[in-house]
Structure 1
Amino acid sequence: MKYPVKLIIFVIGFCLSLISIESNAKDDKSTANTAGLSKGREKAFEQYITDHFTPFIEQDEWKVFTEVVTLYNQSPSKLVNVNAEKQQEFKSAVKLLNHAMKSSNDENAKIWLENVRKTAHNINFLWTVDWETLTPAHDTERIIGEPISMLNGF
């Protein structure tokens, strides 16, 4: 009598642990798709843009975009020294990318677009912080377009 009861308890415990492992795996996949253009993923994004949005890579905005994102991934503190003209060019490039990728029917375009948005928000946030007082500028929410609490990583 003890053997079947222990077996039933073991089977129930084993099944519950499998369910828990499966649900964690599903959650990890969804966050990985929207992690932003972090190190390593930026090269995959560049390849995707090269394959699907060839006219965009021939524009100067693409060069500025990749330069700023690479700088962000290598050393975010160096973004503070980027001049206002390059910041404006980066914002323009993000708008062009946003427009081009929104009109695409490709599901990967939507995922990459979300990554671009998160990365651009983080970069814009770094540009709007007053580094002397370590506080965001008063109009940060207006500049970035969403509450600071919505930014990835903050």
Structure 2
Amino acid sequence: MDSKITKATQRQSTSKASSNTDRVTTTASPSPALKNTSVRNAYWAHQRGLVSEKHVITYYHLRNYKLLRQRLKTPYAEIDLVFRSPDGLNLLMVEVKTANQTTFYNARISPRQKYRLLGASRFLADHFNCLVEVHWAFVTKNGDVTIIEDVS
């Protein structure tokens, strides 16, 4: 597989947040009803996934991509993020993964996931009548984003 890997590091802010809305955290603590450990773990995994998606959205907005849909359901798979390219001609489909390590990215992508997401990309290409590029975005806990392009 020929893939291009791009890394980005989140810049640290030099000013303090002026209000609660300026802070990175976007969710409250879980309800006391979440006493089951597996439910709690699933809750926090979902929250980390949402924060990771926000980092990736920022990454692509800085490169002039326009977010079209988030968590788009297709007959083949749910697509985390769908962007319109800066020239407006093509689509970009992004699968977001939260990564604890900064290596072994390809091991995190199962053949079944690839198959489903490539089917979803064909569905988008037919539906929008344009080229669709597939990227995988890996986000570390400190907000570093690594993009693997041209997944096939």
**Larger C-alpha radius of gyration, 1 or 2?**
1
Bigger relative contact order, structure 1 or 2 (CA pairs below 8 A, ≥6 apart):
2
Same fold per TM (> 0.5)?
Answer: no
Q: Which has the higher helix share?
A: 1
- TM-score of the pair, normalised by structure 2: 0.28
